[in-house]
Amino acid sequence: MSDSRPSQDTTSSVSLERLLEQLDNSARAMKESPAFARVGKLPDVLDTARRVLLLPGGFAALQERAPGLEQAGVFEGSDWAEPATLLPGLTPYSLQSPQPDTVVVEALSQLRLLAVAGGDYLHESVSAEQAWHYLTQVLAVNLGLLFGLGGESEREQGRMAEVARGLLCHVAEQIGYEHVLDRLIDEIWRILQQRPIQVSSVRRMITQIAICRSDTSVDMGNAGQGADRLISSLYGPTQACREDPGTAVYQERLESMDGVALQNEATGFARSMHDTGLVSPYHAVFVRHVLERQDTLLLEALGLSSTGRDCLLCYRDLVHELVRQGIFAETAQGLYGLALMLERGILYQPPVAPALWRQVLLPICSEARERIELSCGYAPQPRAWLLQGVLNILGQPLGVGQGNNPTCQSARALSMWAYNDPAYLLQMVAWAARDNEIIMHFEGKPVSSAESQGGVAAEVSLDLDPVSLVVVPHLDRIYAEMGRVCLGREGDPHQWVNPEFHGWWSARGFSINVDVATGMLQDLEGFIRFFYASYHPFYNGNQPLIHPQPAGIAVTDSAARFIGWHAITILRVALDPDEVMRVYFFNPNNDSGQNWGDGVVVSTSGKGERFGEASLPFEQFASRLYIYHFDPLERGEPADVREDELARVVDGVHRTWGSNRLPAEALQAQPPGE
């Protein structure tokens, strides 16, 4: 089934072998050409590849040639050049494009990743695990096309629609066709256990599963039997909307319900929302209905505990206004954020309620309005989308993600402020959304986002939650500007930038195990000893971490190869249910569950994690750490750290990201063969 397509290309009688020979020659000529001349060779390569894809065996043949085609420059200068940054959600547009070349390049890109996932291509920027994960999501968002439900777009594409469907069949067979849906459902639950704010991709996957399951002509076998709870969470969480009648019909049903029926609806919505972290549009319709007629049911519909109930009753008018202005069928996900915000009790902090009243009526500048409309749509108004985003980030401070942007510092700051100082976060949102400018201070001097020379990211993409959409472009520029002020100083700029950028609670003590000038490891043993003495309860006098602290890790892939430096937040250190000391941390990546190689697999559930936390055993975390902050007045006992424990962490660094960063004297001291 991996090459299901017409048995012959009717436009040519050339054999597959002849076409492959022609393709190899064209690719070789392109590779040997100067960089400026390669673009002229590309049309010939793509046209030949298109004809290969239309023949039996074409996908397998191009999969074998994927490394050579990439090295020839097929993806050079295009959106496909960096596979690590590709978004599965965009593949439906590429595969159903009316431009044949777009379909061909997308096919070549997926075949390249298929070679990586199968271990046949060791790619420098994406691991086998990442490639497999990406392709699984590609299948998820293209289930309709995979099962032949493409509709009118396929007819418009002509023969290229057969290429797109054949490609997906080939990918599904290589990954394990019979397990695609089952693994996809497991993957959705794994992501939902982390409770991210951005759930649009998850909703799209669930929608595709629902479409395929509802089509009787599609034989799915025994696959996907665990999908019912996911599908019902969006399209039928209660008895009155079980068959997904549409919001208009559901509104009519609500008008005729008695008190008992409404109570059952409220309980059903709350149970579904807290079970999955997803909110159905019907839930928003219900809440808006009872708000005007029987507002006591709002408590039940949000599934609040005594803490949340007390908070809602104390700030009843504010909560009602937040619902009226921010919760619609399109922004229903804000209900989950509202419920969790009430459970946190942060409205009792004196500045928070007035700041939320300001947010309700906040005028939005044209620049922020445009970004929200481009990302979220034109209905409801941008203010409602932003209010939904505020509710979500205040309720889920560990659910913020950086999207497809190199802005981990900014995402970490938003999370830390929502976690530590919600009023400060609301001030940042107001400045960015209303004034299109944020002014922070660095060592007493103002730093303006409007006057910055530019940020870390050349352009912040739109795959973000509404608050990040508006605020991150400003934070990114300010962070970069603070770094520029530190140019010329000896040492790592994070030493000065982190406390000024993130807040006073970032400890002023600073430790780094990499020499900034050379990139070589420095005083690794001392670095690890003081980390244990500062953070490990057995060595710091059992002092728990009071404020979350910024830290930096050396990220590695599943083969333990160094990928880059990454900003995270250390949240707490505690024993897990198995009595293993673990570091619980916030990772602003969209998915915290990662395999960092050498046996280091980040856990997101089942090890004592709270929603949004990632965790690792203390030793494993220390083996990936390269920067941390500490309070110089609260030092533990570095000398008490056991030598065997210290040696294991040092070995972990030397085996992985530090393998090519050993100082010359350390290399000379190693025995032969190491």
Q: Note the pLDDT tens digit of each residue in 555-585.
A: 988 778 888 899 999 999 999 999 999 999 9
CA distances to 200, 255, 384 from 315, in Å: 30, 27, 20
pLDDT at 667 > cutoff 60: no
Report which secondary-structure segment, H or E, holds 512. strand 509-512
Q: Is residue 364 very low, low, confident or very high in pLDDT (cuts 50, 70, 90)?
A: very high
Residues 255-265, mean pLDDT to the nearest whole number: 95
Name which of 274-288, 391-405, 590-604 the model is least confident about.
590-604
pLDDT tens-digit profile of 76-124?
988 899 898 888 888 988 898 888 999 999 999 999 999 999 999 999 8
pLDDT tens-digit profile of 208-224?
788 877 766 666 666 66
Which residue, 73, 26, 80, 71, is CA-closest to 49? 26
pLDDT tens-digit profile of 221-241?
666 667 889 999 999 999 999
pLDDT at 441 > cutoff 70: yes
Three-class SS of residue 520? Answer: coil
Beta bridge partners of 564: 555
The alpha carbon dihedral of 24, 26, 29, 34 has a sign of negative
Cα–Cα distance for residue pair 414/421, rounded to 1 Å: 10
pLDDT tens-digit profile of 47-75?
999 999 999 999 999 999 999 999 999 99
- Which pLDDT does position 36 carry in this prediction? 79
Share above pLDDT 70 across residues of the chain, in percent, rounded to a whole number: 92
pLDDT tens-digit profile of 497-534?
999 999 999 999 999 999 999 999 999 999 999 999 99
Q: Is residue 303 very low, low, confident or very high in pLDDT (cuts 50, 70, 90)?
A: very high
CA distances to 187, 194, 230, 235, 297 from 226, in Å: 12, 19, 8, 15, 31
